Amino acid sequence: MNTLRPVGIIGTGMYVPEKVLTNADLEKMVDTNDEWIVSRTGIRERHIAADDQATSDLCYEAAVKALESAGMTADQLDLIIVATITPDTFFPSTACILQDKLGAKKAAAFDLSAACSGFVYGLATASNFIGSGMYNNALVIGADCLSRITDYTDRNTCVLFGDGAGAVILGEVPEGRGFQSFDLGAEGAGGTLLKLEAGGSRMPASVETVEGKKHYIYMNGREVFKFAVRVMNTATGDALKKAGKTKEDIDLFVPHQANIRIIQSAMERLELSESKVVVNVDKYANTSAASIPLALVEAAEQGRIKEGDCVLMVGFGGGLTWGASVLIW
């Protein structure tokens, strides 16, 4: 990365709500079964936010832990970016709500919308702010409450999603470490494959939109699957190339946790053994923007990443969008 100073991750934290929804629970809600869900997706359970929890509440829990792990207090933060497609409200932004909750008085704050790729987009944005010298640190969170926009009568989608938040603090790191490259992209033409149709300026909320279930996620799973397999390959290749690395250099691969079959396809192309790949889709399902940070932070907490390791992250999702990054830990 072409920045004035190296930027990396100096603190991590994660949070998932207490309530667990298992495949057996879903069997009682829709016409599905554990065997179908596990064999097609790898998901066994997911965490669901309590009625009184919104995305900023999940962010808060993850942020407090990230600050603690960085040895920082909230009033030292320069910037807060929350990547989410399920903000508490259209406005104020979830980042502003969080800024107030944390007491991060001097921090600029904004939300970023790139669906499941949002966290990597957020890392790229914040690292450039720090790399340019404009800010010294940033809190970047990927968080979503997909349960709030999921139709629990639609078996095609309701088995796939969960809620959570993963947070990192970015700051200056020693030479040779930190982010080595980013590869971000979008294919807006595929936007209709994965969308939430109503509630915006195109189709404001009305009795008809509620009755038509247009405030829920719509997804063409098969087409998104093909897109995912394709861009996981191209984005990881491009991010490695920009970083001057090859697949042999990868110590840990942190893919978006949407479907085990998509992860396995990327593993095969990158010729990676299971020990080099983070998989927690079985426990948390697809948590959208929270997916990559939950995998990254959990791996770090389990001692799976050591100083100097080459970490490759990649996400894809609504937009359509993708984002990959090579990071030296």
Catalytic residue list: 116, 256, 286
Kindly list the distances between the CA atom of residue 121 and the CA atoms of 61, 71, 82, in Å, as whole numbers in the listed order.
Answer: 22, 25, 10
Q: Which CB atom, from 116 or from 184, has the smaller least distance to ligand ACO?
A: 116
H or E stretch at 166: strand 163-172
Please identify which residue in 125, 236, 288, 325 interacts with ligand ACO, judged by CB under 6 A: 288
Binding residues among 113-132 for ligand ACO as defined by CB under 6 A = 115-116
Our finding on whether 28 is near ligand ACO (CB under 6 A) is no
Sign of CA dihedral 233, 179, 70, 85: negative
In the complex, minimum distance from the CB of residue 121 to ligand ACO, in angstroms, rounded to a whole number: 13
Return d(Cα 139, Cα 119) in angstroms, integer: 11
Our finding on whether 222 is near ligand ACO (CB under 6 A) is yes
Our finding on whether 225 is near ligand ACO (CB under 6 A) is yes
115, 289 in Cβ contact below 8 A?
Answer: yes
Our finding on whether 290 is near ligand ACO (CB under 6 A) is no
Site string for ligand ACO, 176-205 (x = CB under 6 A): ------------------x-----------
In the complex, minimum distance from the CB of residue 134 to ligand ACO, in angstroms, rounded to a whole number: 30
DSSP result, 96-156: HHHHHHHT-TT-EEEEE--GGGHHHHHHHHHHHHHHTTS-SEEEEEEEEEGGGG--TT-HH
198, 209 in Cβ contact below 8 A?
Answer: yes
Q: Which CB atom, from 202 or from 222, has the smaller least distance to ligand ACO?
A: 222
Our finding on whether 318 is near ligand ACO (CB under 6 A) is yes
Window contacting ligand ACO (CB under 6 A); options: 99-107, 131-139, 155-163, 270-278? 155-163
SS3 210: helix
Binding residues among 47-106 for ligand ACO as defined by CB under 6 A = none
Binding residues among 298-317 for ligand ACO as defined by CB under 6 A = 317
Please identify which residue in 58, 83, 139, 224 interacts with ligand ACO, judged by CB under 6 A: 224
* DSSP conformation class of 281: H
Return d(Cα 150, Cα 148) in angstroms, integer: 6
98, 56 in Cβ contact below 8 A?
Answer: yes
In the complex, minimum distance from the CB of residue 303 to ligand ACO, in angstroms, rounded to a whole number: 29
Our finding on whether 152 is near ligand ACO (CB under 6 A) is no
In the complex, minimum distance from the CB of residue 148 to ligand ACO, in angstroms, rounded to a whole number: 12
Our finding on whether 292 is near ligand ACO (CB under 6 A) is no
What are the φ and ψ backbone dihedral angles of 268, each rounded to 5 degrees?
-65, -45
Our finding on whether 136 is near ligand ACO (CB under 6 A) is no
Return d(Cα 274, Cα 261) in angstroms, integer: 13
SS3 18: coil
Our finding on whether 36 is near ligand ACO (CB under 6 A) is yes
Our finding on whether 230 is near ligand ACO (CB under 6 A) is no
Window contacting ligand ACO (CB under 6 A); options: 73-81, 152-160, 230-238, 276-284? 152-160
Our finding on whether 255 is near ligand ACO (CB under 6 A) is no
Q: Which CB atom, from 94 or from 288, has the smaller least distance to ligand ACO?
A: 288
60, 104 in Cβ contact below 8 A?
Answer: no
Give the chain's radius of gyration (CA, Å).
19
Return d(Cα 14, Cα 126) in angstroms, integer: 19
Return d(Cα 308, Cα 254) in angstroms, integer: 16
Q: Which residues bind ligand ACO (CB under 6 A)?
A: 32, 36-37, 40-41, 115-116, 155-156, 159, 194, 221-222, 224-225, 228, 258-259, 262, 286, 288, 317-318
